[in-house]
Amino acid sequence: MEGGAQPSSLRDPPGPGSAEQDGVPGERDGGEGPPEVKRSQPLFIHSSSRPVPPEEPRASSLPAIPNPFPELCSPSNSPILSSPALGQGPPREGASHVVKVFGEDGACRSLEASAATTARQLCETLVRRTRALQDQSWALVELHQHLALERCLEDHEAVVEVQSSWPPGADSRFVFRKNFAKYELFKSNAQSLFPEVMVSSCLEANKSMAHSELIQNFLNSGSCPEVQGFLHLREPGRKVWKRFHFSLRRSGLYYSTKGTSKDPRHLQYFADLTESNIYYVTQGKKLYGTPTEFGFCIKPHKVRSGVKGLKLLCSEDEQSRSCWMAAFRLFKYGMQLYRNYQQAQARLSQPSWIGPTPLRSVSDNALVAMDFSGCTGRVIENPSEVLTVALEEAQAWRKKTTHRYSLPAACQSSPLSAAIHRTQPWFHGRISREDTQQLIGRQGLVDGVFLVRESQRNPKGFVLSLCHLQRVKHYLILPSEEEGRLYFTMDDGQTRFADLIQLVEFHQINRGILPCKLRHYCTCVAL
């Protein structure tokens, strides 16, 4: 395991007919397997090497009468006491557990994991199994479909422990996908997550400290910023939503019963985040009647199933919801989040295993506009100069492709060159505008997240879908023919490219007409 991680016992359940096919642990092929299980034990797989507990001594004056119902006399192993009434119980050390993980295409892979296996270890295992590119954006998402709730597991969370908290028979699942917003909290633009209006209470106590310094102080100390703002609250047992002013403090989450008053007489205690998990609400208007699409939920650990006990909230916009969610994470995990980020950065700096590389794609690299006209190169920071250089470089690329298009006509109409973009992980074929926005939203509303798809309105065109300022924007790419040469353009022919790969690579280096450079491409791997 990379980065000095503790070794994980993750492995596929061996033998045909295993959990990968039917969702339950299968029998082992060959050799001496474990004794036949007399009763159903979902999730748990007992190792054949587990030592048999010594037999309890019996009184010499009593005959040895076999017990026909041994499970009723063993509370730790009793299915009546552990499930379904009280769930599956805590994971047992030394035993292996079946963990089913789904991909975004609905495919499933079953793995065996120990009780100590973390979300990061499971993700790294799936990255190797699927031969995906290793980076810090892969995440394990806990999804409760019947409640329309989902959250990204932190790297240090124990997967089996989370799975054991699910109610038996529920349609909860783990999903393996990208989450580019996972560590955006610790990036240089973290100030955008905490608008000044939402941390003004802290500024009152630190008037001499700038907003950027204040946020950095929060991140360095791992403390929770005191966030405040208006949220819509659903009244318990009713479908009525009311707007209250909330404040997140070290002692918990409160709302004011009288406007924005912070008088203790008007503050109502709402939730203890240390005993809860925070989830995004994905279908808030449909299931809960939320006023906006930016809902989230505080789900106490003791609430196992059903809507009763959920604390439903709703923000006015995506920026407000992101601020609250980031503050909740800091409140609950503190410095552990920053340690997770540092470990992820350290793993990226170490040489990784050799895997496939995308054809002519460099979107995972940190690219900036450079000027090499002098003795040494320099980074171009002036936006107007960057645009000028971008146009000049585009003209240079057009000249370089002149020889390419002067080749015989057979090469010009090569089906490989006409469809080379289909080999790229950022190309998603013919998906709808709505599906595109949902995909980018699931993988993180971070500046520079993008994908390319076929246009539904123009059969010959394509669309570049890009996230900027937590909104998804769409740019039409049209083919243009000049003197028998085919080009692709987004600005009515002012800047033209030989193919879609050249267009994407150019905008990974230069912003051009886009509001930001292309940084992360949406990708889905097949499990």
- Answer yes or no: is pLDDT of 356 > 80: no
Q: How confident is the model at residue 317 (pLDDT cuts 50, 70, 90)?
A: very high
Could you tell me which residue, 201 or 451, shows the higher pLDDT? 451
pLDDT in tens, 4-44: 444 445 665 554 444 444 443 443 444 444 445 444 444 44
Segment 57-61 mean pLDDT? 44
How much is the pLDDT for 467?
96
Residue type, 146: H
Q: Which two tokens stand for residue 201?
A: 């209470």
In angstroms, the CA 247 to CA 126 distance is 39
Q: How confident is the model at residue 244 (pLDDT cuts 50, 70, 90)?
A: very high
Three-state DSSP class for 476? strand
- As a whole number, the mean pLDDT across the chain is 76
Low-confidence winner among 125-129, 248-252, 401-405, 449-453 (lowest mean pLDDT):
401-405
What single string gives the DSSP state of each residue in 18-64?
-HHHHSSPPPPSSS--PPPPSS--SSEE--TTSPPPPPPPPPTTS--
Quote the Cα angle for 321-133-414, to 5°: 110
Could you tell me which residue, 8 or 221, shows the higher pLDDT? 221
pLDDT in tens, 99-120: 999 998 889 999 999 999 999 9
CATH 2.30.29.30 given to domain 184-348: yes
How much is the pLDDT for 338?
85
How much is the pLDDT for 80?
35
Percent of the chain with pLDDT over 90: 40
- Answer yes or no: is pLDDT of 387 > 80: no
Could you tell me which residue, 477 or 52, shows the higher pLDDT? 477
Segment 512-516 mean pLDDT? 94
Low-confidence winner among 115-119, 298-302, 483-487, 492-496 (lowest mean pLDDT):
483-487
In angstroms, the CA 100 to CA 109 distance is 6
CA-based radius of gyration for the chain: 28
- Answer yes or no: is pLDDT of 383 > 80: no
Query: 111 near 333, Cβ under 8 Å?
Result: no
CATH 3.40.30.10 given to domain 96-178: no
Q: Which two tokens stand for residue 285?
A: 């208007």
DSSP state of 157: S
- Answer yes or no: is pLDDT of 237 > 80: no
- Answer yes or no: is pLDDT of 57 > 60: no
Domain with CATH 3.10.20.90 in the chain: 96-178
Cross-strand bridge partners of residue 100? 110
How much is the pLDDT for 354?
46
Buried b (16+ CB within 10 A) or exposed e, 286-321: ebbebebbbbbbbbeeebebeeeebbbbbbeebbbb
Low-confidence winner among 80-84, 151-155, 236-240 (lowest mean pLDDT):
80-84
Q: How confident is the model at residue 161 (pLDDT cuts 50, 70, 90)?
A: very high
pLDDT in tens, 131-147: 888 888 999 999 999 99
The domain 421-521 is classified under which CATH number: 3.30.70.380, 3.40.50.720, 3.30.505.10, 3.90.25.10? 3.30.505.10
What single string gives the DSSP state of each residue in 237-252?
TS--EEEEEEEEETTE
Question: Which residues have CB under 8 Å from 112's CB, separation 6+?
Answer: 9, 10, 11, 12, 13, 25, 45, 96, 97, 98, 99
Could you tell me which residue, 104 or 419, shows the higher pLDDT? 104
Three-state DSSP class for 318? helix
DSSP percent split of the chain into helix, strand, coil, nearest 5:
30, 25, 50
pLDDT in tens, 398-407: 555 444 444 3
How much is the pLDDT for 422?
85
Looking up tokens 């570049």 gives 464
Helix axes 383-405, 500-509, angle to 10 degrees: 150
Q: Which two tokens stand for residue 200?
A: 């003004």
How much is the pLDDT for 220?
64
